[in-house]
Chains A and B, each alone.
Chain A
């Protein structure tokens, strides 16, 4: 066990965990931030996507010891009132079915739009390819990303 001070959603949080613990489980099991989801544990499905210094990152393979001072943003910290343009677009298009993968989808989409405010269809698809939606909301996800890009 070791102590780590993490910068999560603008707040410093201290945890005492095994250094090999992935950020995913630190968030979920130790900090009660459960919006970041477990899907595969091997960075294949994207359900655990967070922002690490603004870059979309899979939290399931990111060890807590490797974070250092980098800023972590989770779905809970994407916006204060849940009104980030991507979140609003997701609601407007009514994207979710089961909803489980959607936090990860939103985190990937918002990181994409931060870097590329007007992505082409192909750029959206490429960015979103790391996020599996088993319910098959892919067409709506793309529509929502485009809607968020417009706003």
Chain B
């Protein structure tokens, strides 16, 4: 046990005694509306006692744990409560989980992004469980007249060996509510974990496979209207005029109007990045009726800024690659001098297109705004920022705004930008009615907030012994300068120069799963293979040599480097062993390693030999260092998904523009990976080091692109520089 100060906000312990003693089930209406299974109903207690904002204990020993962060498929709704349950020391089978609404009084950082939920929630989740356990122990100690220190807990049972007393948590829950919140609590040692580190199935699994309402699009309320929006067809255009009269009389249509979703005086948050200020709203009784009206409506748009095409983006990015950065992002040694004396020089340029997020559940949100209050319910990764924008947009204090999160049909960064929820609120306010805003797939794909398009140029110099003596990277992206100058191989090369540029464009961009890393890892680790080959060295050993350098004799201030070379090398060594890298398999294999979002991942990807024009991925072996693994079953699912996501997008996907207009608007033209194109097998291995946990939503994606590209080189005998690889010339097909 480790004794620690209780550091979660004391606000988490403000108890609503009315609720605690009233024995109410506090689940908010949305969740209460989801039918429970018979087993769950039978096991519900008569009374719940709230010990802190994270949990309540029932008189029968059942425990409800509030999952604070938004669930986008990263499975925090299972893994975060597991951490609370661990320190509470309750049997997992006696735990019910509820999604917490936005509550800044109790929770901190209710945000899904940056793979940070587990890493940043770790401490407060443990505290929540441990303080409640301590309070239950104190309650038992008072009841039995013994010292709390002598009481032990296990699976929700309190035991005092000396007196022979024993009680379930439920029996002490009522008394525990009047125990003072402890100043210090004991946390378990890693070796004592009985829930953390074990496979636990998705808490929403049964509801998902039986089609229960869980998602934002599944919200239906009494008197609710459906709304759709019409946004400009091209970036660089804005609303000019429309003739809505004939559409207004279509069946089921309540209103059609032009509105300012974001008037100029609205105080925007970063989460409003891709906001389109003016839109047209169609409001009606049902989705299909709105869709029909949308089709019939004729809107005129006017050009307000340059209508950009993909050819323009490509040329403009390419010309930025010719331009030095005035003050380089990082400069160690002298690359120019090193290139002059280098025995070999390798140079390559890599590029990637825009990507849409394409969550399977299109953007949507429910809003009911009245003069007295605003109720917002739907899929949002950043509820707190949404609330702040709504304060300004609706002219209402935060206390009058309730934001609740549904389970989300995917996020990938798209739902960090809750502009659609602000639009829903604005429409509801105008209609003075409850409204669910629904984006069609086409709206969703052409609305913006894309993964930027990128280009990067590398140049490396080797001495006569094949040692890397110089590394120069210059990158550029649309509205994003791409380069992480302090990431590997910074610190492992004497002469290092990193330069970056951003091309300002009117095509809106945003975070897309593993921002920047989702391109730069693929480029850097593919280029590393080219350099290793020029050095005549095994690509995996070549990387290990560089990590040795960063460990033993780092260049510059090692504190500046964004990575721990020991842990980086660790995953490479693990994947080397698990993939049997040194054995000649006859298969085309590629290796890559990357560090982002605080976790380390190395992969060996093996392509099927022979056969078709597009080689199928036979197997991916993946080694991960994310510290303590909370839920291995779900952790592996995230890692598998990231790998498939990386392979799928780099191989098949692209969003292109002609005169500001996205050329793809649905899955008939925007290609996503299908089942028969996915890797046949993925094996995941974790480094077991007991370090505090980091996240997994993003880190497995970036290296998969490079492992694929390096394996493609082996299979096809040429390098792939341009994503999507399927379009790289000469074509893979034929």
Contact = CB atoms under 8 A, between A and B. Distances in A.
B215 A100 contact: yes
A42 B642 contact: no
Interface of B: 72-75, 199, 201-202, 204-206, 208-215, 217-218, 220, 226, 251, 286-289, 291-292, 358-362, 407-412, 438, 440-441, 633-634, 637-638, 640-645, 648, 666-668, 672-676, 678-682
- Chain A interface residue bracket vs B: 35 or more
Contacts of B672: 132, 134
Contacts of B409: 37, 98-101
Contacts of A128: 675-676
A103 B210 CA distance: 7
A149 interface: no
Interface in A38-82: 38-42, 44-45, 47, 74-76, 78, 82
Interface in A111-128: 121-122, 124-126, 128
Contacts, number: 190
Interface in A86-102: 87, 90-91, 94, 96-102
A91 B209 contact: yes
A132 B251 contact: no
A140 B638 CA distance: 12
A3 interface: no
Q: Which 3 A-B residue pairings sit nearest by Cβ, starting from the closest?
A: A35-B211, A100-B409, A98-B73
Contacts of A17: 286, 288
Contact of A96 (B72, B202, B287, B358): B202
B217 A38 contact: yes
Given A34-B213, A99-B409, A140-B640, A82 B360 contact: no
Contacts of B359: 98, 100, 134
A47 B667 CA distance: 12
A150 B57 CA distance: 41
Contact of B211 (A74, A131, A137, A141): A74
A137 B209 contact: no
B208 A136 contact: no
B201 A94 contact: yes
A18 interface: yes
A12 interface: no
Contacts of B408: 98
A32 B75 contact: no
Contact of A131 (B292, B361, B675, B680): B675
Interface of A: 1, 17-18, 20-22, 25, 28-30, 32-42, 44-45, 47, 74-76, 78, 82, 87, 90-91, 94, 96-103, 106, 121-122, 124-126, 128-129, 131-142
17 contacts: A29-B288, A34-B213, A39-B667, A44-B668, A94-B205, A97-B73, A102-B208, A124-B675, A125-B675, A125-B676, A131-B675, A132-B360, A132-B674, A135-B73, A136-B640, A136-B673, A139-B682
A37 B202 contact: no
Contacts of A42: 441, 666-668
Contacts of A103: 208-209, 211
User: Which of A40, A76, A124, A134 counts the most chain B CB atoms within 10 A?
Assistant: A134
B358 A97 contact: no
Contact of B209 (A18, A37, A38, A87): A87
Nearest to A106: B209
Contacts of B206: 82, 91
Contacts of A124: 675
Given A1-B251, A97-B74, A97-B75, 8 more contacts: A17-B286, A33-B211, A38-B438, A41-B666, A75-B209, A76-B211, A90-B205, A136-B673
A29 B290 CA distance: 12
Contacts of B638: 97
Contacts of B291: 41
Nearest to A87: B209
B284 to A, nearest CB: 10
Contacts of B644: 136, 138-139
A17 to B, nearest CB: 8
Nearest to B214: A99
